[in-house]
Structure formats: structure tokens, C-alpha cells
Structure 1
């Protein structure tokens, strides 16, 4: 079962909420945020950190936020617990997916145009699939594919080290929600209705995604 917390980080325009959010997160992330030269990246990083803190609260692990470590390839985890999480942000939203099983999550804001270079993202089969679609649907589907690939790479832990252009989520002309990867069957779940202008996808080994979805608003953060 996977749970999702999400947040519109523009709430941190309010100074009191920004300061409260900063009090939630470890020193390392606070220092990183203070070194950002632009407001939106700082707010996105803060939003992801705050959501993680709230997710830990849900598991009764709020005092362990400073104990998060990283695996060999950089995937963060909390040692000796059954708490697994994945963070993502794009546009002006941050997301934290958490579960008792390994999980990957990715959020992509759907832009007006395709990136100039897509060769490092798409397989030949996926490119052929997109070429058959009308322009707007082609753009939307591209970001859906990108979110799928990134969620798998975050599940795996290798991130950008993983050659995602070799993964294909199109088979027999159909977009797939399941893929065999290095001998394992992985499942993907999109949440297209949650944030219509974004592609949000989760990846896990179980195929069970039904959990609680909760937006953390300015009001709910004030009461946290």
C-alpha cells in the first residue's frame, strides 16, 4: 500500500510558514535551501523535506529524520525500519510517496512543448508510438513516459545512472503499466486526476497502490 502527500509550495511565500517548514527539516537540508539563489527551487526542496517529516510522523518515526542514510547509488532510506519513501517535485508541487515496501515516485509538470532532446529518455518503440499521436497528446504522453521511467529509476536507486532509454513502456502499440526489469516484475500507477497539469507515477513490486492521498495545505501545516 502506498500513501501520497503533496503540497503546493507557493504556500511558503508566507514567511511564518517558511520558517515553520524550516524548523521541520534537518540542518543539512536547511543549509542547502539557504544556498539556493532562486526562490522556487528553495521552496520545492523545503516542501519535499516537510512532506517527509509529516510522513515520518504518520509512522511514529518523526524523531528519526536525522537518521536517514543513502544506499550505494544514493537512494535515501531509513535503516532498520519498514518505512520506505520517495520524494519528487516539479513546477510548484512537491510529493512524498511512502509505504512499507520499496517505492519510487516521480512528478513531471506537463509543459507546452517537448524538450529539445528526448533521445536519452525514450526507446525506439516509444518514439514510434509518440509519432502516431496528435501534438498535444504526444506532449502529454511523453511526460507520462518520463514519469514512469523516473519512478522506476527512483525505485531502483540508481537514478540518472540507469539507462532509461533502454526501458520501454510501449509493447504492441499499447502503453504498459507493468514491466520486467532485471528479472523482476514492476508495476506502475499513474495519478492523472490528482494534478491534471502534471504526470505523477508510482512504482513498486507489489502492484498494490491503494492508500491515503492527502494534500498538505497552508492551514493544515499551521496545525501540524
Structure 2
């Protein structure tokens, strides 16, 4: 089973997150200690979304620590559900699953260079999908979030060659989120259920 949720990025959540994950203090403090305030708020908001999902499934977060695997992907130790966190601008997304999962979110915005970027970073088939789309920027972001979610599921960074990641194959759950007058596209690998929050229904 896979669930995902989204929250608006804002400050004031550190104490609640740190208190809920006492064995993951190092991970939480690293998220909160990012140099730019917006990056710290995005990271802590992502952990807050994780906390909401853990509460949703009735999990006890006080016994779990967070470690990084060889590829740098965070995971619960000694064991626990798999999770993936992503953020873009003012929204943070988290997916939680009983199997490896990847999530991504992107602010949907005007992207005049969507077609040339797709030609540069996507496979020929994917670039053609963007080129032929009635809304090239939206199609670009749809394929981009799929690629990032797939990479995160495998524990690989986005520095891998993007055109080698197939965004047209596989199963994904996509949802348009509205927050602060803007639209975001969230993507999760596999079939997933969206759990609304007070921020984003």
C-alpha cells in the first residue's frame, strides 16, 4: 500500500517534527540547518508531511531513526516503511509505502524552453511527446516528475543521465495540487492514494 500527501512550506514545525522523531534528531537537525531559510523550511515541511503519513497509518515514530543507504537515500532504521520526500517552491510532498517508492513535485509554470530542454534531456519519444503536446510546459513537467520519482525510488540522484530514465513506461500516480494560488504536479511511482491535509485537499 502506498499513500502520499502534501503540505504548504512554512516555518514553525521543527519542534513538533523533532519531538516526533527523537531517534532521528541528527537527520531532522540537518534538514533544519540548511543555509538558506527556504531550503530549511522545505526540508522540515517534508519531514512534517512524513509525520502526518506515519500518524495516518498508526506508526510509532519515536522508535525509528533515519539513516542514509549507500546511495544517500534516507530510510528508517532498524526497519520501517519506505518513504520519499520532495519539495518545490512552497509545497512539500511525501510518499510512504511498504515497498521502495519515489516521489517528486514541481511548480507548474510557464517554460518557454520546454521543447529544447526535452530534446536535450529526454529520450526521442519523450521529447516528441513534449513537442506535440498542446501544453508543452505541462507535458515537460509531467515527464520530468516521473523521471525524478523513478530515480528516487531506485535511490539514485538526479545527476544520472535523464534521457536514460524511461518516463513513458511503468505505473505512476499523478495529482495536480493547488496552494497559494499556484498549481503543482505531484508524481509517485506506482499506484498511490492521496491523503488530504489542512493545507492541500
Residues 41-97 of structure 1: CA deviation (Å, up to 9, x unaligned): 12101101222233333342311342x222221222224545111111111011111
Deviation at 1:22, TM superposition (A): 5.1
**Unpaired segments ≥5 residues, structure 1:** 170-175, 180-185, 218-224
Residues 166-201 of structure 1: CA deviation (Å, up to 9, x unaligned): 2343xxxxxx4xx2xxxxxx3112113x33711211
TM-score computed with the length of structure 2 as normaliser: 0.80
Number of aligned positions between the proteins: 192
Q: Would you say the 8 A contact 2:17–2:28 is kept in 1?
A: no
Tell me which structure has the larger Cα radius of gyration. 1
**Unpaired segments ≥5 residues, structure 2:** none
Q: Which residue does 1:76 correspond to in 2?
A: 74
Q: Which residue does 2:145 correspond to in 1?
A: 147
TM-score computed with the length of structure 1 as normaliser: 0.72
Q: 2:155 aligns with which of 149, 157, 177?
A: 157
Q: Which residue does 1:121 correspond to in 2?
A: 121
**Superposition CA RMSD, Å:** 2.8
For the structure 1 residues 27 and 78, does the alpha-carbon distance in structure 2 shift closer, same or farther, using more than 3 Å as the test?
closer
For the structure 1 residues 96 and 118, does the alpha-carbon distance in structure 2 shift closer, same or farther, using more than 3 Å as the test?
same
Q: 2:53 aligns with which of 49, 52, 55?
A: 55
Q: Would you say the 8 A contact 1:104–1:203 is kept in 2?
A: yes
Q: Which residue does 1:215 correspond to in 2?
A: 197
For the structure 1 residues 150 and 27, does the alpha-carbon distance in structure 2 shift closer, same or farther, using more than 3 Å as the test?
same
Whole-Å separation in 2 of the counterparts to 1:70 and 1:100: 18
